Structure 1
Amino acid sequence: MSNKLTISEKVGFSLGDMAGNFVYQSVVLLLAFYYTDVYGLDAATVTAIFLFVRIFDAITDPVMGIIVDRNQSRWGKYRPFLLFLCVPYALASVLVFTVPDLSLEGKTIYAYVTYAVLMMLFTATNIPYFALGSVMTACPNERVSLNSYRFVAATGGGLIVTAGVIPLADYLGGGDKALGYQQAMMVMAVLSVVLFVICVGSTKERIKPVNSGSKDFKTDIKRVFGNDQWRLLGFAVFIMVTAQTVKATTGVYYLTYYAENAAAMVSLFLSLWMIGGMLGSALANKVTQLMCKKQAWVILCLVSAVLSAVTYVIPAGQLVMIMAVQFFVGFFNQMMAPLIFSTMAEVTDYGELEQKRRLDGLISSFTLFALKVGLAIGGALATYLLAVYGYQSGGVAQSAKTIDGILLTFTIVPAFGFVLTAAILHRMKLTAEVVKDNAERLQLIRSESA
């Protein structure tokens, strides 16, 4: 199969996701805790912000997908978006982690606006980035390898966030947490811009679509939802990300209020998750060489469910066991990430064959839509359950009922989501044989039309 990628191009591409994850992982892992315990909002308000902003942002994804699919410039279809929007994206991340001198009502409005702007810029950079990975190579194994590099770097970005942002905020703030978080995010923002620029300069768009169908945007949207394999992929991504976000959002609360004498170990706890994830991402390509990608994804979901459920029975004082399980949760959970996005490219191939039109941008945008709705529902569900169980913001001691609720939300709720994801994926028909056949058919069509 053609389009063998160099290591330097894989590394360069992967740095784009590291750049994005300096912000994304800060939002997933730290923003809820920041809003309740630093910014000063109650859990119910944070729930409303997460739900409204993330769903509103998700609705903009198809619009961005349409824009991306119709763009063409001398720099390509996708790379210009990364180059010209990386600075606004970085600035917005700093504004989100800035506490304004306003009333509680003013701070709430500020949180809505700045978070909404950040998530819209996340859309405007990530949809082109997702699509870029689909057009760099037509080889299925190279796509998994490319996404393995990508998620090693992405998890590395998350590791820098988990290991660095909280200690950096403590150091830079000098006792002022609000100032510390703002300045720590300034550092992340500068690094993000540098890595996005390297990504743009290191990559090349190779796959040229062979399209004969209508380019009407309504017809294109119908094509996406008419693609039965995308419907399954989108639903699986939604459920899986919901489960992952519930777990990620409540991780800080779990260690702070459930585990005994562990409040000072939050950075280590989150870092082990990320280190395990880096190793899992790196080995994803090896796993898909041993078994069908679909089968591997189902197994990984079930293993993640078991590990999450097992955490429920670990005693609060068993810190070594808690940390060890956290490492393996990250390992198996993040191993799924390269499979998602290489499968997305294969779903696009399938759609091109069946519908005579290639829609990298729109498939990417609707997949990101599913991801963001999962992020919205997962974040809102986590903070909603905290509120239901009586969580009190401001770093105060929590009741036994609240601590039990934190434990349940961190363990059993995500486990159920992972099992449901496995059931959905089991219905997909993109086995290794089907994917290989589709790639060969498309290669033949392109060679005949050249």
Structure 2
Amino acid sequence: MDSTETKAATAQNETAPRMVTLRNKIGYAVGDMGNNFLFDMGQLYLLNYFTDQVGLPSAAAGTVFLVAKIWDAFADMAVGTWIDNRTNITKRGKFRPFLLWAAIPLALLLIANFSTPNFSVTGKLIWAYIAYMLFGTCYSISNVPFGSMIPTMTRNSQERSELASWRQAGSNMGLMIATIGFMPIVEALPNQKIGYSIAVVIFAIVGVLAQWYSYANIKENYSAPKKEKVSKAELKKSFKALLRNKPLITLSFVNLFTFSAFNLKLTVQVYYCKYILKDMTAESWLGFFSIGMVFVSVLLAPILTKRFDKKYVYMMGCAIWAIADILGFFFASNTFLLVFFTSIAYLGDGFTSALNWALVSDCVEYGEWQSGIRTEGMVYSFFTYFRKLSQAIAGFLPGIVLAWVGYVPGATQTATALMGIRGLMFIYSAVLSIATIILMYWAYSLTEKKYSKIVTDLLKRRGSEQIAEPVIEESN
């Protein structure tokens, strides 16, 4: 793990020119903060809005997430394929324009999800399905290009880790503000259903402004070559190459584990605070301290990856997460202990979150090295396909479990229902963290030493790298 070979490989990976400025890094972080203002409302509060405000049965509400997220997963793949094969690339870049144009439609669709009309239960369910599926499709059009952009911003491995950390910092800032600020706005209004809608409007407006700021302050330094329209045979070849990318397959599965655990915890903590602790202020304390701890891991990740292989830093984070959640299951009986154990768990999760985007960028190079086909959009969308499946699980499973254990909205819960909430909060994530450690250890082979060899081989194949000319945009 701390071998001379690993250090040498890491040093060689850092010889690629550093292209990203502090302004670019801040812009990239703010972009993901905006993404989270627009996206996290659904993960944090939509299930509770459906069950406690709209009056949907918990199992039916959970099924909305399952169906919509499976739809989103295929939408991601379609969007990634479309982006990879675009032929009308302008001076704005291959990926940046999507940040500009998708922001407002995404915000309007988010508001629609929290503005369910007073229909019958069937009508409300139809509204929920349509609104959430359209939102997910629009989010794919915005987010797949955003995540695919790192390989065009820099070829430097360490700089990619730094960008991934900045992105995660922005994501966590968005999540922290959403967790701290959303429910106080809702509870400040006499009608909570209206409160949800007003709070969502505020976060949607700020999210749009953040995405536009990101668009104005990031840059694609490496030109994306214009492609001719590809045939179905070439598309089929690209998909086959994608399925042979073993590091990408492994990374996608461990994200299915870790991201479903993370999102399920976010969904369930509202119920935990309300029914087990009977203290809704705990939700804001969780947002400040537990999400704040992720910033610590985001700051530590680039330091640790200079000394240790990213794979082992990733596994270390999962070990911290699993231990904290096991202890939390037994001892988190008050607000202080819940915040303490959840903060330690999120410290561990932060290492996995910070490194995901650097690892998936490495998988882009691996795929090109293995097959001769470079498909940033398809690689990223394949990766996010599994993240969307994890979100489907995180939305669906709580609804099903809550129905199974006899959860009744707004009522005093039975001991069985309380145990179901506690198990969802802690045991699910602990088990999947341990599974991630096992899978990464045995199946993820793309070490820093191997990545260094891949980069060297690719540079020989490509010849000299062409840096994009400074972008000069026409005024609108």
Identify whether the pair has TM-score above 0.5, normalized to the shorter chain. yes
Q: Give the whole-Å Cα distance in 2 for the aligned partners of 1:124 and 1:296.
A: 31
What's the TM-score, normalizing by structure 1?
Answer: 0.95
Q: Deviations over 1:372-391 (max 9, x none)?
A: 00110122112211111111
**Aligned Cα RMSD in Å?**
1.9
Q: Deviations over 1:357-405 (max 9, x none)?
A: 1110000111110100011012211221111111112x11110110011
- Which of 233, 250, 255 is residue 251 of structure 2 equivalent to? 233
- Which of 403, 411, 420 is residue 426 of structure 2 equivalent to? 411
Please give the secondary structure, in 1, of the residue aligned with 2:367.
helix
Letter in 1 for 2:131: T
Q: Which residue of 2 aligns with 1:400?
A: 415
Q: Which residue of 1 aligns with 2:168?
A: 151
Measured at CA, do residues 411 and 194 of structure 1 come closer, stay the same or move farther in structure 2, by a change above 3 Å? same
Q: Give the whole-Å Cα distance in 2 for the aligned partners of 1:138 and 1:66.
A: 22
Measured at CA, do residues 403 and 436 of structure 1 come closer, stay the same or move farther in structure 2, by a change above 3 Å? same
- Which of 238, 256, 273 is residue 220 of structure 1 equivalent to? 238
- The answer on whether the counterparts of 2:365 and 2:374 sit within 8 Å (CA) in structure 1 is yes
Please give the secondary structure, in 2, of the residue aligned with 1:175.
coil
Ranges in structure 2 where 5+ consecutive residues have no aligned partner: 1-15, 467-476
Letter in 1 for 2:18: N
- Alignment identity in percent? 25
Q: Give the whole-Å Cα distance in 1 for the aligned partners of 2:37 and 2:49.
A: 16
Q: Which residue of 2 aligns with 1:350?
A: 366
Q: Give the whole-Å Cα distance in 2 for the aligned partners of 1:449 and 1:320.
A: 54
Q: Deviations over 1:197-221 (max 9, x none)?
A: 1111111212346899987212111
Q: Deviations over 1:392-424 (max 9, x none)?
A: 12x111101100111112111111111111111
Please give the secondary structure, in 2, of the residue aligned with 1:4.
coil
Ranges in structure 1 where 5+ consecutive residues have no aligned partner: none
Letter in 2 for 1:186: V
Comparing 325-334 and 144-153, the one that deviates more: 325-334
The 5 Å alignment of 1:113-262 reads: 113-171=130-188, 174-208=189-223, 216-259=234-277, 261-262=278-279
Please give the secondary structure, in 1, of the residue aligned with 2:331.
coil
Q: Deviations over 1:317-359 (max 9, x none)?
A: x432221112222222122112111000000001111111111
Q: Give the whole-Å Cα distance in 2 for the aligned partners of 1:279 and 1:449.
A: 35
- Which of 317, 320, 323 is residue 306 of structure 1 equivalent to? 323
Q: Does 1:322 pair with 2:307? A: no
Q: Deviations over 1:286-332 (max 9, x none)?
A: 1212211001111111221111111111152x432221112222222
Measured at CA, do residues 28 and 212 of structure 1 come closer, stay the same or move farther in structure 2, by a change above 3 Å? closer
Q: Deviations over 1:401-449 (max 9, x none)?
A: 1001111121111111111111111121111212223233333443447
Q: Give the whole-Å Cα distance in 2 for the aligned partners of 1:78 and 1:92.
A: 22
Please give the secondary structure, in 2, of the residue aligned with 1:313.
helix
Q: Give the whole-Å Cα distance in 2 for the aligned partners of 1:336 and 1:226.
A: 23
Comparing 244-253 and 143-152, the one that deviates more: 244-253
Please give the secondary structure, in 1, of the residue aligned with 2:149.
helix
- Which of 364, 373, 380 is residue 396 of structure 2 equivalent to? 380
Letter in 2 for 1:366: F
Letter in 2 for 1:192: G
- The answer on whether the counterparts of 1:152 and 1:279 sit within 8 Å (CA) in structure 2 is no
Q: Give the whole-Å Cα distance in 1 for the aligned partners of 2:165 and 2:349.
A: 13
Aligned length: 445
Q: Give the whole-Å Cα distance in 1 for the aligned partners of 2:354 and 2:403.
A: 34
- The answer on whether the counterparts of 1:153 and 1:278 sit within 8 Å (CA) in structure 2 is no
Please give the secondary structure, in 1, of the residue aligned with 2:330.
coil
Measured at CA, do residues 43 and 125 of structure 1 come closer, stay the same or move farther in structure 2, by a change above 3 Å? same
- The answer on whether the counterparts of 1:211 and 1:358 sit within 8 Å (CA) in structure 2 is no
Q: Does 1:101 pair with 2:88? A: no
The 5 Å alignment of 1:51-90 reads: 51-71=66-86, 72-90=89-107
How many Å apart are 1:283 and its aligned residue?
2.2
How many Å apart are 1:62 and its aligned residue?
1.1
Q: Give the whole-Å Cα distance in 2 for the aligned partners of 1:74 and 1:207.
A: 12
Q: Give the whole-Å Cα distance in 1 for the aligned partners of 2:315 and 2:351.
A: 12
Q: Give the whole-Å Cα distance in 2 for the aligned partners of 1:337 and 1:32.
A: 23
Q: Give the whole-Å Cα distance in 2 for the aligned partners of 1:315 and 1:15.
A: 33
- The answer on whether the counterparts of 2:319 and 2:348 sit within 8 Å (CA) in structure 1 is no
Comparing 35-44 and 365-374, the one that deviates more: 35-44
Measured at CA, do residues 211 and 226 of structure 1 come closer, stay the same or move farther in structure 2, by a change above 3 Å? farther
Q: Which residue of 1 aligns with 2:7?
A: none
Letter in 2 for 1:29: L
- The answer on whether the counterparts of 2:27 and 2:217 sit within 8 Å (CA) in structure 1 is yes
